[in-house]
Structure 1
Amino acid sequence: MGFITLLSQSMEPYTIYATLIFLFCLLFWLLKRSNADIPTKAPPPPEAEGAWPLIGHLHLLGGSHAAHVTLGNMADKYGPIFTLRLGIHRTLVVSNWEMAKECFTVNDKVFASRPNSLAFEVLGSNFSFFGSSPYGPYWRYMRKIATVEVLSTKRIEMLKQVMDSEVKAAMKKSYDFWVMMKESGPKKAVTEMEKWFANITLNVMFRAVLGKRLTGMGCEDDEEENEKIQKAVRDFFHLFGQFTVSDAVPFLRWLDLDGQEKKMKKTAKELDDFAQVWLEQHKYKTNSGSEEWKNGEHDFMDLLLSAVDDECLHGHDHDTIVKSTCLQLILAGTDTMTRTLTWALSLLLNNREVLNKATHELDTQIGGENVVVESDFEKLEYLQAIVKETLRLYPPGPLSVPHESMEDCIVGGYHVPAHMRLLTNISKLQQDPSLYSDPLEFRPERFLTTHKDIDLKGKHFEFIPFGAGRRICPGISFALQLMQMTLAALLHGFEIVTIDGGPVDMVEKTGLTNVKASPLQVILTPRQSIQVYNQN
């Protein structure tokens, strides 16, 4: 008031009014400028998309299209960063490499946690799966053990012989099947390739984690149990990728309106029963103290039984940790590799010129009567490009496993509050026309020319099929090793055609992983001499 009084004594009335107006405008401009630096929330889709009461935008993800396709179409309308309300939870969706980089570099620790969800709790043994557990000491402890004991470079080197023997066993079995069908009459030797790939990956993972094979043991009882395990694995991934009513509206969980919790508990019980048997077998072997066990090679469950410190359980039961960690490694490793190999072969069958180039490279670099070995991979540049291009078009998880912000942060100039969920649309990101010319076409050559130096281990955000940041998949090297070995041996060993000579149906179906909707049935005809298939 003293300032106003001074003005009134020294100025004419109109001068006073003009000065006050100037000061008011100056104050308004300063406030506006300061507020401009405060980011707003990421905008939700316009009301035309229709958020429903209670469930929000959840109904948009329940149509015939896979969730990543629906969210990709929305990104075309609303941009590479927007929010949805999935039930009571606000969810940030990012769909380009710049936004992904910001989330997993500057804000990596902020988004390092996982949200509470029905699948993480029920299928993940009450958050004992370290891949779906919240960020903290338990996650760090278990990830370190898994990385060092089964996914390290040293361990992968030890497992190369296991990979090689399982691929050779599958090749011989297919050769014998072809001979049998040829001798028995005019029937075609039809092979369902997803199952063929699954048998290899399951056996490798079981031998690495449990020290024994799963499939192909011959006994009828064993085969029946194997089918049950494989079905439980398929059910796990189907249920794990579902958006549930209980997650959207937690206070309605007790009603289990969509029946998902009942299904999850059934599958979790089946898997836990299998794991309990494996655990008891390992404990018996350990406690027997036999010289064979002391001097033999120890599998991951053996190592885990002794490595898990009772003081580092962080509220989890010792046996539950051992079982759930082993199950997670088997489940994650098997499904992702099986899906990627199935898509790779499907793409090759629909692009015969690429398939011919791959077989020509194998014949030139390896030789017609030799078996592919691990040391040959560095010479098979085109094959490596095929695997990369497959992972670009069909990443194992087209949508990232959900993250959750642990504190407020800024993404793309927008304010993201704590406890907001994050989905990265990896599929959309990797098909960005500004990054890849003709992004929907299968062109392995791009990884030998324009994208030759792009790494897939989380350093280049235009290509993150295994995720990025603290939560990146720890099994990348393991997966690439087995996928390259399997695909190389298959293409080198057999001529491959579809059963009707036509193209492969590339329709996807919903789930956590990128699943081909129809089975891939082919005819495998040997293209090498019998000696190649009989090598051990």
Structure 2
Amino acid sequence: MFSFLRTYILFFSLFIILIVFIWIKWISYHFSPKKNIPPSPPKLPIIGNLHQLGLSPHHSLQALSLKHGPLMLLHLGSVPVVVASSAEAARDIMKTHDLAFSSRPKMSIPDTLLYGSKDITFSPYGEYWRQVKSIAVVHLLNSTRVQSFREIREEEMALTINKIENCCGRSVIDLSEFLVVLTNNIICKVALGRTYSGIKFKDLLGRFMNVLGVFSFGNYIPRLSWIDRLSGLEGQARKVAEDFDEFLEGVVEEHISDRRGVYAKSNEDQDLVDILLDVQRDNLTGFSLQRETIKAIILDIFAAGTDTTFASLEWAISELIRHPRVMKKLQQEVTEIAQGRPIILEKDLEKMQYLKATIKETLRLHAPIPLLIPRESTQDVKLMGYDIPAGTQAIINASAIGRDPTLWEEPDEFRPERFLNNTIDYKGLHFELLPFGAGRRGCPGIQFAMVVNELALANVVYKFNLALPNGMKNEDLDMSETTGITVHKKSPILVMATPRL
């Protein structure tokens, strides 16, 4: 009898608890404020919206935004991601709520490649990031420092022009190869003190960028992280990290050994490794600069500076070949300003407004990183009236914004003239043009990258006429894209180059 009574009381208590639980849930659902979430395409179990990214995510996301709006919510596996495809949405993330979206999500491949994300680009927001960003801005990439490397840029440019001249009229040349060697040599001399040529070094950099751009399942679907191991991605990342660390360790040790020598370098002769070693020795920032941080910063600047600069140059020259009217107009400008000198110098660049407009137009149509590096919110915010919880990733589709028909007349046309009579620039103040991002996470190396772009493009079009081989029409030039973080032209620029002067 007592056993039955105890059982009855137990079940009755559980029933009451269940009723109370349901009642609380009902009250919570009907009376708590409703979350206003951004529009979202239907998702699949486990993978969410991953299947909708396609081989060219920036184009796929642009197409989705036409249906779901300029701010949409996707679920990439288990990770909520808002995608901004308009200048207004980008401004809300990178200006209005810049602080809330100043962190980075934890990503396994950058962690492996960059010493636990101790670089500037991928490190999470916080005191460490503020310190390394400050070192880059104050000591490495300020205006005076960038100007101090002018002689290196001009010397390498002259060498490249001579190499192309030696090939003129004899055969088809791979102009892409000349451009990648030029950018590699400039960055090597500036960052490391000397050039590192050869297939091995080029292969190492290529492997680094390839692995960095591969999609990692473990970042978005933890239960499928085994795919990254099975595919060999994790092993490749570790191998590249080991090889690059061995290379950078040798560079740092070489610099330390040279500093023990009789002749110390003057400030004008210092490269970026020298400067970082000075910061470490003198503790100029009150921040303990470790060896791994030095290597991470150098790798960050080196890889990003080479890859994005080369990509932008390649797209600019490709567009000029396809648009002879623009090429002729640019050649007229650089010829007038050069006044017969054998090569264009950096002091000439400020006068070349059509050159600057041409590069802006190239960056509008071909943002080197079309989907800016993802950010992650550290607090709940409202974006364009929508509720975005902390922990949500944010992706800015710079490519879609650059081709937005509400911002740009005939957005798919290459017309540098659109930049001659307006103030829109790429430095992060105008959200219609965002090739380098904006806000706290904007690229600190814009000034250095752009002077290389301007100097190289001005000299190539000044010195040479470029024609496609085998009677190909200009408009038939292949403009297919690669996939990855940085989007390159898929096929190299093969041309016949003839002297203009």
TM-score when scaled to structure 2?
Answer: 0.89
Equivalent in the alignment of 1:520: 493
User: Residue 149 of structure 1: CA displacement?
Assistant: 2.2
Equivalent in the alignment of 1:14: none
Alignment check: 8 A CA contact 2:360 2:425 kept: no
User: Residue 370 of structure 1: CA displacement?
Assistant: 4.0
User: Residue 267 of structure 1: CA displacement?
Assistant: 1.8
CA distance in 1: counterparts of 2:139 and 2:100, whole angstroms: 28
CA distance in 1: counterparts of 2:479 and 2:267, whole angstroms: 49
Aligned partner of residue 442 in structure 1, secondary structure: coil
Of the three residues 31, 37, 40, the one matched with 1:41 is 37
Aligned partner of residue 121 in structure 2, secondary structure: coil
CA distance in 2: counterparts of 1:391 and 1:56, whole angstroms: 32
CA distance in 2: counterparts of 1:373 and 1:296, whole angstroms: 19
Equivalent in the alignment of 1:267: 240
Aligned partner of residue 40 in structure 1, secondary structure: coil
Q: Mark the CA change 1:385 to 1:86 in structure 2 (over 3 Å): closer, same or farther.
A: same
With 497-506 and 512-521 compared, the bigger mean Cα shift is at 497-506
Of the three residues 285, 289, 293, the one matched with 2:258 is 285
Deviations, residues 370-390 of structure 1 (Å, cap 9, x unaligned): 421112122211111100000
Equivalent in the alignment of 2:183: 201
Deviations, residues 262-306 of structure 1 (Å, cap 9, x unaligned): 2222222222121111111112112x2422447872211112123
Equivalent in the alignment of 2:388: 416
User: Residue 318 of structure 1: CA displacement?
Assistant: 1.6
Equivalent in the alignment of 1:81: 71
Equivalent in the alignment of 2:120: 130
CA distance in 2: counterparts of 1:274 and 1:177, whole angstroms: 33
Aligned partner of residue 428 in structure 2, secondary structure: coil
CA distance in 1: counterparts of 2:373 and 2:213, whole angstroms: 9
Alignment check: 8 A CA contact 2:89 2:383 kept: yes
Alignment check: 8 A CA contact 1:493 1:526 kept: yes
CA distance in 1: counterparts of 2:72 and 2:384, whole angstroms: 10
Equivalent in the alignment of 2:439: 469
Equivalent in the alignment of 2:196: 214
Equivalent in the alignment of 2:14: none
Equivalent in the alignment of 1:533: none
Equivalent in the alignment of 2:51: 59
Aligned partner of residue 122 in structure 2, secondary structure: coil
Alignment check: 8 A CA contact 2:74 2:81 kept: yes
Aligned partner of residue 406 in structure 2, secondary structure: coil
Is 2:139 the partner of 1:143?
no
CA distance in 1: counterparts of 2:435 and 2:489, whole angstroms: 17
Equivalent in the alignment of 1:109: 99
Deviations, residues 57-84 of structure 1 (Å, cap 9, x unaligned): 22222x3x41100101100111101111
Alignment check: 8 A CA contact 1:405 1:418 kept: yes
Deviations, residues 184-219 of structure 1 (Å, cap 9, x unaligned): xxxx4222222211111111111111111233xxxx
CA distance in 1: counterparts of 2:268 and 2:311, whole angstroms: 34
Aligned partner of residue 89 in structure 2, secondary structure: helix
Equivalent pairs counted in the alignment come to: 465
Alignment check: 8 A CA contact 2:100 2:378 kept: yes
CA distance in 2: counterparts of 1:111 and 1:257, whole angstroms: 33
Equivalent in the alignment of 2:419: 447
Equivalent in the alignment of 1:163: 153
CA distance in 1: counterparts of 2:388 and 2:79, whole angstroms: 13
User: Residue 254 of structure 1: CA displacement?
Assistant: 4.6
Equivalent in the alignment of 2:298: 326
CA distance in 1: counterparts of 2:218 and 2:469, whole angstroms: 43
Alignment check: 8 A CA contact 1:244 1:258 kept: no
Alignment check: 8 A CA contact 1:39 1:413 kept: no
With 492-501 and 52-61 compared, the bigger mean Cα shift is at 52-61
| Unmatched 5+ stretches in structure 1 | 1-30, 183-187, 216-222, 529-536
Amino acid at match of 1:276: E
Equivalent in the alignment of 1:312: 287
Of the three residues 193, 206, 210, the one matched with 1:234 is 206
User: Residue 251 of structure 1: CA displacement?
Assistant: 4.0
User: Residue 453 of structure 1: CA displacement?
Assistant: 0.9
Deviations, residues 201-259 of structure 1 (Å, cap 9, x unaligned): 111111111111233xxxxxxx3xxx222222222222222222111222443552433
User: Residue 448 of structure 1: CA displacement?
Assistant: 0.8
CA distance in 2: counterparts of 1:240 and 1:510, whole angstroms: 11
Q: Mark the CA change 1:257 to 1:85 in structure 2 (over 3 Å): closer, same or farther.
A: farther
User: Residue 406 of structure 1: CA displacement?
Assistant: 0.6
Aligned partner of residue 149 in structure 2, secondary structure: helix
Aligned partner of residue 285 in structure 1, secondary structure: helix
Deviations, residues 43-70 of structure 1 (Å, cap 9, x unaligned): 321x2xxx33322222222x3x411001
Equivalent in the alignment of 1:437: 409
Equivalent in the alignment of 1:479: 449
Alignment check: 8 A CA contact 2:167 2:173 kept: no
Q: Mark the CA change 1:39 to 1:249 in structure 2 (over 3 Å): closer, same or farther.
A: closer
User: Residue 39 of structure 1: CA displacement?
Assistant: 5.0
CA distance in 2: counterparts of 1:177 and 1:238, whole angstroms: 30
Amino acid at match of 1:101: R
CA distance in 2: counterparts of 1:294 and 1:521, whole angstroms: 42
Deviations, residues 466-514 of structure 1 (Å, cap 9, x unaligned): 1011000011111111110000011001111122333311111211012
Deviations, residues 69-119 of structure 1 (Å, cap 9, x unaligned): 010110011110111111111111110000100111110000000000122
Q: Mark the CA change 1:135 to 1:350 in structure 2 (over 3 Å): closer, same or farther.
A: same
CA distance in 1: counterparts of 2:267 and 2:439, whole angstroms: 39
Equivalent in the alignment of 1:250: 222
Of the three residues 462, 465, 482, the one matched with 1:509 is 482
Q: Mark the CA change 1:149 to 1:295 in structure 2 (over 3 Å): closer, same or farther.
A: closer
Identical residues among aligned pairs (%): 34
Aligned partner of residue 44 in structure 1, secondary structure: coil
